[in-house]
Amino acid sequence: MQAQSRRAFLAGLGATGAAAARDSEAYWQGIRREFTFPEERVPLNAANLCPSPRRVTACLERYTREIDHDCSLENRRKFAALVEEIRARIAAQIGAGADEVAIVRNTTEANNIINNGLRLAAGDEVVVWDQNHPTNNVAWEVRAARFGFAVGRVSTPVRPSGPEELVAAFERGLSARTRVLAVTHVSNVTGIRLPVARLAEIARRRGIYLHVDGAQTWGALQVNMAELGCDSYAASAHKWFMGPREVGILFVRAERVGEIWPNSVAPGWGDDWETDLKGARKFESLGQRDDARLMALGAAAEFLDATGWERLQERVLELAKLLKEELVEAGARLITPMEAELSAGVCVMEAPAAARQALVREFYSKHGLAVAANGGLRLCPHVYNTREHLERAVGAVRATRRLWNA
């Protein structure tokens, strides 16, 4: 896989670096041209699935053809070293060590590795946020039914006044029996962002393991594991990271790796119960992988590095802020907080439950916008979206007013 320099990346954009400096929107228009979706079918639901840049798709296609041409072990041996390069790049992006990062298949798998791998017994307690995704929520209930530990759920204010109110809700939910706190960095149903670093301080003081579902922040925010302070973090490449489908990551802090049993054991593990694999690699003992997909993960990581993580985060927050302000002006009532410290790229507005699917269909069929009905009506702009896309979304809210009062 050939890495592209930042200069080569910028040169490949439709807008020149000079034009981008004069007009920031010119830069993002260049980013838009890296994606093949037509203006009649605009994705505005990054919380579920993102399109990939052309170079990611090209990388996937290239290596798929290569493997089909020669699927021998001799040809495929090179992928082991290439995967390690990709692991090191991703680890650097999230402020982790390479030995702390497992490349798995998605957030669901990563969440369940932690769920099934931690030692828990009857009398122990796991505390979850009631806004967690089912794979970090219901999954704990399923395991509790088998092993007899308790699961406590924390509810937070619908419209929190600030991080302190969120932290206080979790402190009240913990007990002397709590062994694990499992939360979501940004809720996919409200868009609320939890103060994970603060929760990590509390968990550490009490000897509680903190697991974070980062499906809505990896690729949207400049996350750093050292700053977050969590024990593990799960995410999928197919969401905000704009990578290939069925690839994800699981970060596990080095000192915690030995505490967690793997979900599966495949060739390469070793010949006894103690694995030969180093660090978090033991969690990706999954059998035959799609090497082309792993290479495409590397292409996505290169794309994001070339875009610039600080610039990417600023753009996501800028688009979300603009969208929320315009939606309020159009008469929508937001569920997601306006404040950046309490939110990220997920934007959810109130909508009658009976009308949500009709709204989703009309946004798509009449306005060419792919949105979702999670928690209300959910719109999640990313760097491939333009200001015109947001204007169209606000226009769609106004045009569907009859459904909002259903």
pLDDT in tens, 200-232: 999 999 999 999 999 999 999 999 999 999 999
In total, how many domains does the chain have?
Answer: 2
Q: Which of 74, 133, 43 is nearest to 364 (CA)?
A: 43
- Does the pLDDT at position 405 exceed 90? no
Same domain, 345 and 271: no
Please report whether residue 231 resides in a domain: yes
Considering the domain architecture, whether residues 297 and 321 belong to the same structural domain is answered as no
Query: Which DSSP letter does residue 192 get?
Result: P
User: Is residue 4 domain-resident?
Assistant: no
For residue 46, CA distances in Å to 207, 346, 359, 387 come to 35, 8, 18, 16
Instruction: State the Cα–Cα distance between residues 327 and 107, nearest whole angstrom.
Output: 30
Instruction: Give Cα 353 distance to the centre of its chain.
Output: 26
Q: 29 and 126 share a domain?
A: no
Q: Give me the mean pLDDT over the 312-332 stretch.
A: 97
Beta-strand runs (E) in 44-99: none
In a domain, 1, yes or no: no
Residues 243 and 391 in one domain: no
Confirm whether 55 is domain-assigned: no
The answer on pLDDT for 271 being more than 90 is: yes
**Does 194 lie in the same domain as 99?**
yes
* Structural domain for 139, as ranges: 65-304
Q: Backbone phi, then psi, for 11, in 5-degree steps? A: -65, -30
The first and second tokens of residue 229, run together, are: 């302070």
**357, 319: one domain:** yes
Q: What are the C-alpha distances in Å from 191 to residues 134, 344, 347, 363?
A: 16, 7, 6, 20
Q: Are residues 289 and 331 in the same domain?
A: no
Is the model's pLDDT at 328 over the cut of 80?
A: yes
User: From start to end of 13-149, where are the E strands?
Assistant: 42-43, 101-104, 125-129
Residues 82 and 136 in one domain: yes
The CA-based diameter of the chain, rounded to the nearest angstrom, is: 65
The answer for residues whose C-beta is within 8 angstroms of residue 324's C-beta and 6 or more apart is: 334, 336, 338, 347
CA angle 18, 24, 28 (to 5 degrees): 100
pLDDT of residue 406: 61
Those residues whose C-beta lies under 8 Å from the C-beta of residue 122, and which sit 6 or more positions away, are: 147, 148, 149
Q: Write the pLDDT tens digit of every residue in 167-213.
A: 999 999 999 999 999 999 999 999 999 999 999 999 999 999 999 99
Which domain-ending residue is among 248, 269, 304? 304
Q: Whole-model pTM?
A: 0.93
Check whether residue 130 and residue 71 sit in a common domain. Answer: yes
Residue 173 forms part of a structural domain: yes
